[in-house]
Amino acid sequence: MSFSHKIINEHIFMSFPYELKDTFRTLFKTAKWNSTQKAFVAAHTPQNLRKWEKFIQAADTANKLLAQKDNEEATLKDLEELADAANKLVITLTTDLECARQRSVDVQKDTAHATAKAAELQGAISDKRVKVLLTTTFLPALSD
């Protein structure tokens, strides 16, 4: 915010943001607009100088409070966005965990099936060895 004032002869020329015009008018009821200087003009008195300083301080305080409010609103918005992102992440992780659990169950079933097949094959291999052993041991003796 830009505030300025200059003293020319017995007058104070005061410039400030247009948005504060109504507030300024409550303090400086007799001030007149000077279009050449683009400033309000009031009598140069100690009382008017004190009012001008108070007006600037009040405007500066209000500006700081508005900036703080904007920052708090931005922070609140950031927190809401972070909470939404965290909720989405929890949903994604929960879904991934359920998929991993199901894959674990499937792997356990596949492992049990493979173990049973391996045992079956081992039995079959043992039977084949016995047959091969019998065939190689007894068949030549029978043919003599």
Query: Are 9 and 17 a contacting pair, CB within 8 Å?
Result: no
Give the pLDDT band of residue 144 (cuts 50, 70, 90): low
- For 15, the token pair is 């410039």
Average pLDDT over every residue of 20-47 = 94
Average pLDDT over every residue of 97-121 = 86
The chain-wide mean pLDDT, for the chain, equals 84
Domain ranges of the chain: 4-69
Give the pLDDT score at 85.
72
Give the pLDDT score at 66.
85
Give the pLDDT band of residue 42 (cuts 50, 70, 90): very high
Whole-angstrom distance, CA of residue 12 vs CA of residue 43: 6
Query: Are 55 and 23 a contacting pair, CB within 8 Å?
Result: yes
